């Protein structure tokens, strides 16, 4: 019985941890024109209001690199970030887009555990195009 109880508690903890991974909502894919800028809204839950928010660049979460954080602005001007705590939305802006700007993560720093994150992809085209936003609802 004790082993079963431990297994059950582990499953409950794992399930709750997995649900935490989806506490940021954003677009899943955006098509934009090279040389332009794009602003991406990242919605978060109220428990993260006073946490540091950031943009991480790279396809693989485990190897992505910080682009900009709410407590550490990007001095190059390539990235900017703002946090509207009243609306619970932080917005990341990426300027001077190139075809190398493709894979990003909206993320929130969490103390003593994994950060909460959500992946989005940019499709940068060389010709004229309108913005195409694709949302993923979970």
Query: What's the pTM?
Result: 0.76
Tokens of 28: 């899943």
Q: Output 114 or 123, whichever has higher pLDDT.
A: 123
Which tens digits make up the pLDDT trace of 13-43?
444 444 444 489 999 999 999 999 999 999 9
Query: What's the pLDDT at 35?
Result: 94
Query: What's the pLDDT at 11?
Result: 43
Cα dihedral 87, 53, 72, 97 in deg (nearest 10) = -90
- CATH number (3.30.1330.40, 3.40.50.10130, 1.10.287.130, 2.60.40.10) of 24-135 reads 2.60.40.10
- At 131, is the pLDDT very low, low, confident or very high (cuts 50, 70, 90)? low
- 76-79 contact pairs (CB < 8 A, 24+): 79/55
């Amino acid at each position: 019985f004790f082993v079963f109880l431990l297994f059950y508690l582990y499953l409950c903890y794992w399930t709750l941890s997995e649900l935490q991974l989806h506490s940021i909502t954003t677009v899943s894919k955006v098509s934009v024109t090279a040389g332009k800028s794009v602003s991406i809204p990242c919605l978060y839950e109220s428990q993260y209001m006073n946490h540091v928010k950031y943009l991480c660049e790279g396809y693989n979460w485990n190897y992505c690199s910080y682009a900009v954080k709410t407590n550490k602005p990007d001095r190059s001007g390539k990235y900017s970030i703002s946090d509207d705590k009243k609306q619970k939305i932080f917005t990341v802006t990426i300027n001077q887009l190139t075809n190398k700007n493709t894979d990003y993560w909206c993320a929130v720093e969490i103390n003593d555990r994994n950060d909460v994150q959500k992946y989005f992809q940019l499709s940068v085209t060389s010709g004229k195009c309108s913005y195409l936003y694709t949302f993923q609802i979970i």
